[in-house]
């Protein structure tokens, strides 16, 4: 009677290259326990160490199920799910399955990455090409790449939104013509400075003299040129920590941090006035202006408030204009006279 051969018992011969494609993370060991062949991905994970020729039990460390260190005991686990690590790659957790080779010729352990796959993939620079298309790790890598792409896009979107928000906030606090801070920005900065314990700063209100004449004589384009020129001078004459704001058509407020020296404020104001009096050229015409200024020192007040400081600086400014313009006045109580002055 002819015996029907059970297909399950057939032995298939695979070349090493075919084995690498089907099981790129295999360990093939001989009957004596020495490793004969290592899949390319497993070799990549192992790094500089060559696993071939080494004793199987010097390379693998079985965590579950527990078994002794004999080939017979390892092969007795055929078909069971193994959990193990490899010497030199202790941070990588592997899952595996072992099968015996025909005629006692050793065995084959096929491995895949466990929960540590993401870290191992990143550390060893693994890609989809390093895994069998049937390996579940491929799906995990797809998901990981998709999550990374979503995370990157989300981060980029957040950064763009944050940049747009900061840009909008900056624009909302910037004078378009001069690039200086505007009244809103100055109000916020002044409130912050006043709210500090024992605030020490100087506030200067500066108004251009003869600016109307420039506008009336040479036109608004010339006036815009003059305002931009004034902004450049003000920026150049203050520290980076100070604040310069355009708060009206030809009015400016300067906030000097950590300043309670009246002589220093007077020196700065006179230097500004001297520079502003130098004519600036527009379309071949000399635009001549000057400036008047009034200042206050926060340290001279028991309880300074923004309104009080601005009001007193304005009184000092009008005093400068009434005295003939092109000068600076530091506020004191005797100046509390509501005397109007032509700008």
Catalytic residues: 250
User: At 197, phi and psi to the nearest 5?
Assistant: -65, 130
Helix (H, G, I), strand (E, B) or coil at 198: coil
DSSP 181: B
Which position has the token pair 């520079």? 275
Between CA 36 and CA 315 the distance in angstroms is: 96
The structure tokens listed for 106 are 């050793």
Contacts of 45 (CB under 8 A, 6+ apart): 25, 86, 89, 92, 120, 124, 126
User: At 62, phi and psi to the nearest 5?
Assistant: -75, 125
Which position has the token pair 């399955």? 97
Which position has the token pair 């491995």? 111
Between CA 181 and CA 247 the distance in angstroms is: 8
Helix (H, G, I), strand (E, B) or coil at 8: helix
Q: Using alpha carbons, select from 221, 297, 219, 239 the residue that is nearest to residue 265.
A: 297
CA distances to 43, 214, 258 from 288, in Å: 81, 7, 33
Between CA 134 and CA 319 the distance in angstroms is: 88
CB 253 within 8 A of CB 188: no
**Residues forming beta bridges with residue 252, ordered by sequence position:** 206, 246
Between CA 83 and CA 96 the distance in angstroms is: 6
């Amino acid at each position: 009677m002819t015996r029907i051969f059970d297909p399950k018992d057939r032995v298939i011969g695979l070349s090493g290259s075919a084995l690498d494609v089907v099981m790129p993370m295999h360990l093939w060991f001989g009957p004596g326990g020495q490793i004969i062949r290592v899949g390319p991905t497993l070799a990549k994970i192992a790094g500089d160490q060559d696993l071939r020729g080494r004793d199987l039990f010097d390379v693998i460390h079985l965590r579950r199920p527990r078994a002794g260190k004999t080939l017979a005991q390892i092969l007795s686990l055929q078909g069971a799910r193994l959990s193990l690590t490899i010497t030199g790659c202790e941070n990588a957790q592997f899952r595996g399955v072992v099968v015996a080779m025909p005629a006692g010729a050793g065995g084959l352990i096929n491995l895949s990455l466990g929960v540590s796959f993401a870290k191992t993939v990143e550390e060893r620079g693994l890609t989809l090409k390093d895994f069998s298309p049937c390996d579940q790790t491929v799906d995990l890598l797809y998901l990981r790449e998709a999550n990374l792409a979503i995370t990157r896009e989300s981060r980029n979107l957040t950064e763009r939104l944050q940049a747009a928000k900061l840009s909008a906030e900056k624009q909302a606090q910037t004078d378009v013509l001069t690039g200086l801070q505007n009244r809103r920005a100055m109000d916020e900065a002044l409130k912050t400075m006043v709210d500090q314990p024992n605030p020490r700063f100087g506030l200067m209100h500066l108004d251009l003299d003869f600016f109307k004449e420039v506008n009336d004589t040479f036109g608004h384009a010339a006036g815009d040129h003059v305002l931009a020129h004034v902004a450049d001078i003000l920026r150049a004459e203050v520290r980076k920590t100070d604040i310069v704001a355009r708060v009206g058509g030809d009015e400016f407020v300067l906030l000097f941090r950590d300043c309670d020296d009246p002589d220093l404020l007077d020196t700065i104001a006179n230097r500004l006035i001297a520079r502003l009096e130098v004519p600036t050229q527009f379309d071949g015409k000399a635009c001549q202006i000057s400036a008047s200024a009034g200042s206050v020192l926060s340290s001279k007040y028991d309880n300074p408030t923004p309104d009080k400081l601005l009001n007193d600086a304005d009184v000092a400014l009008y005093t400068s204009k009434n005295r003939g313009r092109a000068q600076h006045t530091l506020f004191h109580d005797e100046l509390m006279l509501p005397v109007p002055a032509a700008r």
